[in-house]
Structure 1
């Protein structure tokens, strides 16, 4: 069991609804106004983190609205007091010196509550249509390794010199340095072999996509057993999951069936999207193995059932090593409130027994 108590976070609705785009109970809305209100309420409800995914164009349909992650994260840092703000970053979109300076500034605005989520991209048009190009899978991870090495050093306030294949950095230092801690926390996503080694070498927390507990346990055992750089604390783990929690298991199953029916209306859009996805991305290979709703594994983690059922399953995930649960809901605001009221206290009680 992890030494730390479980933490609970929410996904910002940067591209609208997470399970189905055509839901009468949750009209499509990826606006700044909605996301601001959602995160402020999440903080009031006691949630610990918010993950702001990064896309410059909507990954489902380029005609749909898309929230910008880093300007939104800076604004959220100024508006909140306690919640951790995690901004995702795709290395090809920002030079590491520029991004490190941005991250350092948001760290100051937040008072030491900022974090980076390093992802190495899967959506081809986002990079190709900008003329950046879309390298093959392992090449993206090699680029990301150099990139995060530079960013890590700069965020620590070090005078940085780095000569690699992609970056030539000479005696660069950023001021003011972080007065709150050594540097902002670094989350890493991805489950391929290059991703696993990258998080062992450079990350603080590994984000695992939603999937059954026995699969999660194997992933954590593999990456948790890898050597860490000298002086680095043990790696911590987070899990993405879509939650459907109701008074009874039957009510939860009925809502899951309802969301599957709504998601079926998005099938033509999903089919068009497939051509944009890197087939070597392990995330999508895993998703193809079981039906689900929600992104990043969604309901495949099994957090569907009564309040007691969901609490027991979360406690079981925590006991095998998951510390942070990054959650999705639909309808988001109503289910986020119900989870805070009915599930979190049950989880705390179970883990205290």
Structure 2
């Protein structure tokens, strides 16, 4: 049973549209200016969070733009006043001591609104081209487990001495520590057994890829059975939303986006070739035809406004606190969702809504 208030977030468009890359209604734009405008508008509308995914090069179109996550997260933290900023991090790319320092800095810039999303990577090519070893699936999780064990202690203000397989840390402490709470939030993605064990031990929130309610219920039940120190684990769900006045209208738009996505077949083939086949996310996505990334429409948030609202309430009752959402076209659908779905699920919007959403 859900115990926390429902929260809604939006994936920042760090590498272009989420559904189809050749959509006339959503031209490719991964620029800082576009990302800033989206996040500021999401905050003004009452969205609670944004996720800034991490890639160094665009995973879909290598010659196109890719927003850099951590510099962007710092800038967004300074520009916003209420929305949570979650920055994804791949442990192989940053030493834990220096990443922990960056996390604490952004936490303090934001006034206690920062979270880091630990992901153990699926896109081999961005590592291999940089000469960074890309370990086997379980090895990446072992590395990530040691990495986050150091980061979590440093961002909690501890003095750390550590001797492990990958890192040696001697008498290290970071100041200033978190000025607003014990430490920034830790989100963890991944659904393999090593990922589940890692999130049970070190995560605050588990990000689940979009999939049907029964599958999500089973995943949540599995994590709730596992031994865990401290407060209960919370849960987030990625989902692509298509909500319209009627179910037929939503289905028509879903079919429209599917037809546009077919134009990206060659891009998707390259992406599959660059991916670790052991990544459970890709195995899950292969089970259904869908629109969007990270499970996309497999969560079933396609239908009338009433249907989408009822399905969201069912996921929330199962334990999902944070819905990290994708839309296309992004900004107009953000507005539709806030206007139509927020009131249907009892989502209250703060009365001190920021007045600095970027102009069209």
The normalised TM-score by structure 2 is 0.96
> In structure 2, what is the equivalent of residue 265 of structure 1?
263
Match of 2:294 among 268, 292, 296: 296
1:198-217 → structure 2 map (5 Å cutoff): 198-217=198-217
> In structure 1, what is the equivalent of residue 196 of structure 2?
196
**CA shift at 1:61, angstroms?**
1.8
**CA shift at 1:322, angstroms?**
0.3
1:104-253 → structure 2 map (5 Å cutoff): 104-229=104-229, 232-253=230-251
* 2:12/2:53 contact within 8 Å kept: yes
Provide runs of 4+ in structure 1 moved above 2 Å.
none
Please give the secondary structure, in 2, of the residue aligned with 1:102: helix
**CA shift at 1:326, angstroms?**
0.3
> In structure 2, what is the equivalent of residue 22 of structure 1?
22
Q: Distance in 2 between matches of 1:46 and 1:24?
A: 28
Please give the per-residue CA displacement for 1:91-130, whole angstroms capped at 9, x wherever unaligned. 0000000100000000000000000000000000111111
What is the number of residues matched between the two proteins?
Answer: 347
Residue segments in structure 2 that go unaligned for 5+ positions in a row: 348-360
Residue segments in structure 1 that go unaligned for 5+ positions in a row: none
Please give the secondary structure, in 1, of the residue aligned with 2:269: helix
Q: Distance in 1 between matches of 2:40 and 2:180?
A: 23
Q: Distance in 2 between matches of 1:194 and 1:272?
A: 27
> In structure 1, what is the equivalent of residue 325 of structure 2?
327
**CA shift at 1:275, angstroms?**
1.1
Please give the secondary structure, in 1, of the residue aligned with 2:82: coil
> In structure 1, what is the equivalent of residue 87 of structure 2?
87
Q: Distance in 1 between matches of 2:30 and 2:315?
A: 30
Please give the secondary structure, in 1, of the residue aligned with 2:147: helix
Please give the secondary structure, in 1, of the residue aligned with 2:320: coil
Please give the secondary structure, in 2, of the residue aligned with 1:8: strand
Q: Distance in 1 between matches of 2:274 and 2:151?
A: 28
Q: Distance in 2 between matches of 1:273 and 1:329?
A: 21
Q: Distance in 2 between matches of 1:145 and 1:3?
A: 28
Q: Distance in 2 between matches of 1:68 and 1:5?
A: 31
Q: Distance in 1 between matches of 2:292 and 2:5?
A: 26
Q: Distance in 2 between matches of 1:308 and 1:2?
A: 20
Please give the secondary structure, in 1, of the residue aligned with 2:307: helix
Please give the secondary structure, in 2, of the residue aligned with 1:115: strand
* 2:3/2:319 contact within 8 Å kept: no
Please give the per-residue CA displacement for 1:206-226, whole angstroms capped at 9, x wherever unaligned. 000000000000000001111
Cα RMSD, aligned residues only: 0.7
Please give the secondary structure, in 1, of the residue aligned with 2:345: helix
Q: Distance in 1 between matches of 2:328 and 2:15?
A: 13
Please give the per-residue CA displacement for 1:251-300, whole angstroms capped at 9, x wherever unaligned. 00000000000000000111122110000001101111110010000000
> In structure 1, what is the equivalent of residue 72 of structure 2?
72
> In structure 1, what is the equivalent of residue 12 of structure 2?
12
Please give the secondary structure, in 2, of the residue aligned with 1:266: helix
* 2:159/2:171 contact within 8 Å kept: yes
Q: Distance in 1 between matches of 2:99 and 2:197?
A: 23
Please give the per-residue CA displacement for 1:20-41, whole angstroms capped at 9, x wherever unaligned. 0000001000000000000000
